[in-house]
């Protein structure tokens, strides 16, 4: 995530004009939303589960250092090796070093958003190592040179006719229909070879257990299990916030996660491994613990709840903004409401200042979040940081030239005194005269407000404010 | 009960009829309404846009103006939610930034007494049938802050169902945001319009002649587009429907 990326409104404008994307996104998000609602409603203790999930995460984050050290000891005891990576570069160097150390030029990868965060595939490619994505959707994206637009359903913005086109172009098949089973079979044939030839597997991690050193990957296709069991060397990359204290904590999270993410009661493939076992599975296991900005997030009392996230993507599916723009508009590995609060905290507010504003603050995300991240609260908190950042950068005359800052300052002044406020009401009524000669205002001249009248009429100001009516009525009542 | 009307700057300036309807309605139900003239703006726009420090003086002004009332009623879910749910945070910021603990204390006194109109009627005063008469086909949009911050629940629908002559029809996908979001409608005009298009489609699908809600800001957004399309559907605030009677059905 380097260099200036386009702002959310700029990218959203492009995405919104793509009618195929709008249809694909609308259909997919509505379907997952309905499935989730169904399986959440059937649990009588859902609210207690959410609260427990939140409480466990909060307590983990408070004592993160202790849990991570315990995890390191457990993993080492079980025959694994733990590596600490301060940032993306360090993590990439560690992983590339292990792969090269084994003389491998190819790795089999199970979907890992964290590896997208550190741009692992690019870093490996630069060192002559090819990363093969084995998740069906990730494969589609990779073949097409595209980028993921959803945590769980990275190709959510594509439909099966489009996927058929991509496969016909890039896979060794002559004939293919858009039947989902046939598409999956084509991908399976392509991938089986890769699983068997790869000498190093790379995975993410949904959870890691400090007490036992066990690492978990939760998926629906079985490809993850292939990646974590077939190659003789396994490397797992995880953000430091993913640690859980005990195995029993999974009781809560393995209920919360599948119901929130895919709308399933139980997750189809849950792979758990603890270090290495002789003669069974990988004989070498490396766990890479990634910070990459997370300890900075921990320092912020309001922002830190963002690290509760278990990447279920319920907030994406329910978000009225995401379900229309799709994920690419966020220009961030983490899209949707959670991306709008996570990315600015990880990369710095100045590098993603349009993201905290990519929300109406409708609160639908908070309502579905299985670990109760108050996303609207964090969005507003980050907006405050954006404004502060701008104010610090543009001190003096430049701050006064920023139209938004100027308008906010002027309005704060107007609202600070009754006399100024009432005078402003009268002036606005006079000022609108040329615009509102007859009926509603359908065109505002350029500037801040012109976006409004692109689609909406603006009601003209009435002849009398409420308070003028009140004062008049009070006067006439007093006279009577 | 000493009820103060918190009209909101938006309604005061743009929708005075809504304020008059609240006064007429509450007086008809036998309550005395007071209107503290020192009120201006609660600071929601500043707060939500990131100008939180600038909103602190407005919060101070609010708690000063409305101290001492038994209940403070507002015909705006989002402004009521600003005071009740977010003034606490402004109190914290005042401590962090300015070492001022007074605001937090005053907020703790005043904020819990702020109610959105339907909450006051159903939750506090215990009325559902307010004696209204409104012979129109109406659909109700539950605004996000009424729904998810204040959690008014069924209160507005209970009130509407008791209105005589009304033909109340359910709005499909009612709980989906209309796309207003304050400065969102300006900063993210394209996304706001995409959301609004869907909301309009659902409103038109009901074949209602009136779309109502507890917040004129969302209604101005929906109504502005209904007007632009010459759709023949208008928006009317909940208070105005509840204030209408057989003798006085002007709204």
Nearest residue, CB atoms, B177 vs list A320, A357, A471: A320
Per-residue pLDDT of chain B (251 residues; tens, 9 = 90+): 789 999 999 999 999 999 999 999 999 999 999 999 999 999 999 999 999 999 999 999 999 999 999 999 999 999 999 999 999 999 999 999 999 999 999 999 999 999 999 999 999 999 999 999 999 999 999 999 999 999 999 999 999 999 999 999 999 999 999 999 999 999 999 999 999 999 999 999 999 999 999 999 999 999 999 999 999 999 999 999 999 999 876 65
Task: Judge whether B190 is closer than 8 Å to chain A, CB to CB.
Answer: yes
Whole-angstrom Cα distance, residue A175 to residue A168? 8
B228/A456 Cβ within 8 A? yes
Tokens of B58: 């407005």
Name the average pLDDT for chain A.
Answer: 92
Whole-angstrom Cα distance, residue A321 to residue B251? 34
Query: Taking CB atoms and an 8 Å cut-off, how many pairs form between chains A and B?
Result: 189
B46/A412 Cβ within 8 A? yes
Tokens of A348: 């710095």
B49/A383 Cβ within 8 A? yes
Query: Domains in chain A and their CATH numbers?
Result: 43-292 (3.40.50.10420), 406-479 (no CATH)
Task: Judge whether A359 is closer than 8 Å to chain B, CB to CB.
Answer: yes
Task: Judge whether B236 is closer than 8 Å to chain A, CB to CB.
Answer: no
Q: Which of residues 294-353 of A touch B (CB under 8 A)?
A: 320-321, 324-325
Whole-angstrom Cα distance, residue A207 to residue A220? 16
Task: Judge whether A128 is closer than 8 Å to chain B, CB to CB.
Answer: no
To 10 degrees, what angle do helices A375-393 and A336-347 make?
40
Query: Domains in chain B and their CATH numbers?
Result: 3-124 (no CATH), 137-243 (3.40.50)
Whole-angstrom Cα distance, residue B111 to residue B105? 10
CA-based R_g, chain B, Å: 18
- Whether residue A95 is predicted with pLDDT greater than 90 in this model: the reply is yes
Whole-angstrom Cα distance, residue B216 to residue B236? 8
The β-bridge partners of A233 are A200, A284
Q: Kindly report the CA angle at A46 between A45 and A52, in degrees rounded to 5?
A: 90
What ipTM was estimated for this complex? 0.96
Question: Residue B166 contacts by C-beta under 8 Å, 6 or more apart in sequence?
Answer: B134, B135, B136, B138, B160, B241
- Contact status, residue B66 vs residue B37, Cβ threshold 8 Å: no
Tokens of B227: 């007007």
Question: Chain A residue with minimal CA distance to B180?
Answer: A360
Whole-angstrom Cα distance, residue A79 to residue A28? 42
Nearest residue, CB atoms, A408 vs list B38, B49, B192: B49
Predicted pLDDT at A393? 82
Residue from A193, A242, A184 nearest A218 by CA: A242
A260-285 average pLDDT score: 95
First to last CA, chain A: 71
- Whether residue A2 is predicted with pLDDT greater than 50 in this model: the reply is no
**What residues of B are in contact with residue A357 (Cβ under 8 Å)?**
183-184, 187-188
Nearest residue, CB atoms, B12 vs list A8, A408, A467: A467
Q: State the nearest Cα–Cα gap between B140 and chain A, in angstroms.
A: 17
B16/A361 Cβ within 8 A? no
- Contact status, residue A282 vs residue A80, Cβ threshold 8 Å: no
Whole-angstrom Cα distance, residue B190 to residue A455? 10
Q: How confident is the model at residue A438 (pLDDT cuts 50, 70, 90)?
A: low
Whole-angstrom Cα distance, residue A348 to residue A217? 29
Nearest residue, CB atoms, B187 vs list A357, A442, A454: A357
């Amino acid at each position: 995530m380097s260099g200036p990326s386009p702002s959310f409104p700029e990218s959203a404008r492009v995405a919104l004009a793509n009618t195929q994307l709008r249809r694909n996104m609308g259909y997919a998000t509505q379907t997952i939303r309905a499935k989730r609602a169904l399986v959440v409603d059937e649990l009588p203790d859902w609210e207690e589960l959410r609260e427990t999930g939140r409480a466990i995460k909060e307590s983990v984050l408070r004592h993160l250092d202790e849990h991570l050290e315990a995890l390191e000891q457990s993993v080492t005891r079980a025959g694994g090796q733990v590596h600490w990576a301060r940032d993306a570069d360090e993590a990439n160097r560690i992983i590339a070093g292990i792969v090269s150390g084994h003389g491998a030029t190819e790795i089999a990868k199970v979907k890992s958003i964290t590896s997208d965060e550190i741009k692992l595939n690019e870093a490996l490619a630069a060192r002559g190592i090819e990363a093969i994505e084995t998740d069906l959707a990730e494969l589609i994206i990779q073949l097409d040179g595209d980028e993921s637009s959803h945590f769980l359903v990275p190709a959510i913005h594509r439909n099966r006719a489009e996927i058929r086109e991509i496969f016909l172009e890039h896979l060794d098949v002559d004939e293919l229909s858009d039947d989902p089973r046939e598409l999956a079979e084509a991908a399976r044939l392509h991938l089986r070879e890769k699983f068997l030839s790869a000498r190093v597997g790379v995975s993410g991690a949904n959870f890691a257990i400090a007490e036992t050193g066990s690492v978990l990957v939760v998926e629906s296709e079985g490809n993850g299990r292939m990646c974590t069991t077939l190659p003789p060397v396994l490397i797992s990359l995880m953000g430091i916030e993913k640690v859980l204290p005990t195995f029993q904590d999974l009781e809560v999270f393995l209920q919360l996660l599948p119901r929130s993410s895919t709308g399933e009661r139980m997750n189809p493939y849950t792979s758990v491994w603890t270090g290495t076992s002789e003669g069974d599975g990988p004989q070498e296991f490396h766990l890479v613990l990634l910070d990459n900005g997370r300890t900075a997030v921990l320092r912020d009392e309001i922002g830190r709840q963002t690290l509760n996230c278990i990447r279920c993507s319920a907030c994406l599916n329910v978000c009225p903004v995401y379900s229309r723009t799709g994920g690419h508009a966020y220009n961030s590995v983490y899209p949707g409401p959670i991306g709008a609060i996570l990315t600015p905290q990880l990369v710095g507010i100045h590098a993603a200042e349009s993201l905290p504003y990519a929300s109406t603050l409708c609160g639908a995300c908070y309502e579905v979040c299985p670990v109760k991240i108050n996303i609207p609260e964090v969005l507003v908190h980050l907006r405050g940081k954006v404004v502060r950042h701008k104010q610090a950068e543009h001190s003096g005359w430049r701050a006064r030239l920023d139209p938004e800052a100027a308008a906010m300052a002027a309005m704060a002044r107007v609202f600070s005194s009754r006399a100024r406020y009432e005078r402003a009401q009268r002036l606005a009524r006079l000022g609108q005269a040329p615009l509102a000669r007859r009926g509603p205002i359908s065109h505002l001249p350029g500037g801040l407000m012109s976006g409004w009248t692109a689609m909406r009429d603006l009601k003209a100001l009435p002849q009398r404010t409420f308070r003028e009516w009140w004062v008049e009525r009070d006067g006439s009542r007093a006279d009577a | 009960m000493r009820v103060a009307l918190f009209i909101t700057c938006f309604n005061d300036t743009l929708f005075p009829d809504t304020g008059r309807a609240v006064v007429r309605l509450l007086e008809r139900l036998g309550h005395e309404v007071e209107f503290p003239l020192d009120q201006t703006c609660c600071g929601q726009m500043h707060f939500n846009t990131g100008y939180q420090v600038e909103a602190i003086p407005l919060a101070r002004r609010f708690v000063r103006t409305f101290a001492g009332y038994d209940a403070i009623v507002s015909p705006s879910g989002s402004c009521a939610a600003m005071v009740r749910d977010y003034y606490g945070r402004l109190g914290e910021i005042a401590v962090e930034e300015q070492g001022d603990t007074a605001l937090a204390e005053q907020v703790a006194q005043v904020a819990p007494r702020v109610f959105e109109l339907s909450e006051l009627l159903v939750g506090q005063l215990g009325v559902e049938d307010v004696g209204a008469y409104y012979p129109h086909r109406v659909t109700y949009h539950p605004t996000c802050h009424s729904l998810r911050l204040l959690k008014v629940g069924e209160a507005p629908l209970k009130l509407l169902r008791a209105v005589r002559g009304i033909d109340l029809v359910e709005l499909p996908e009612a709980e989906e945001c209309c796309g207003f979001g304050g400065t969102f409608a300006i900063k993210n005009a394209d996304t706001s319009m995409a959301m609004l298009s869907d909301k309009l489609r659902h409103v038109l699908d009901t074949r209602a002649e009136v779309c109502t809600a507890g917040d004129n800001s969302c209604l101005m957004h929906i109504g502005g587009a209904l007007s632009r399309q010459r759709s023949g559907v208008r928006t009317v605030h909940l208070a105005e429907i509840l204030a209408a009677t057989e003798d006085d059905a002007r709204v």
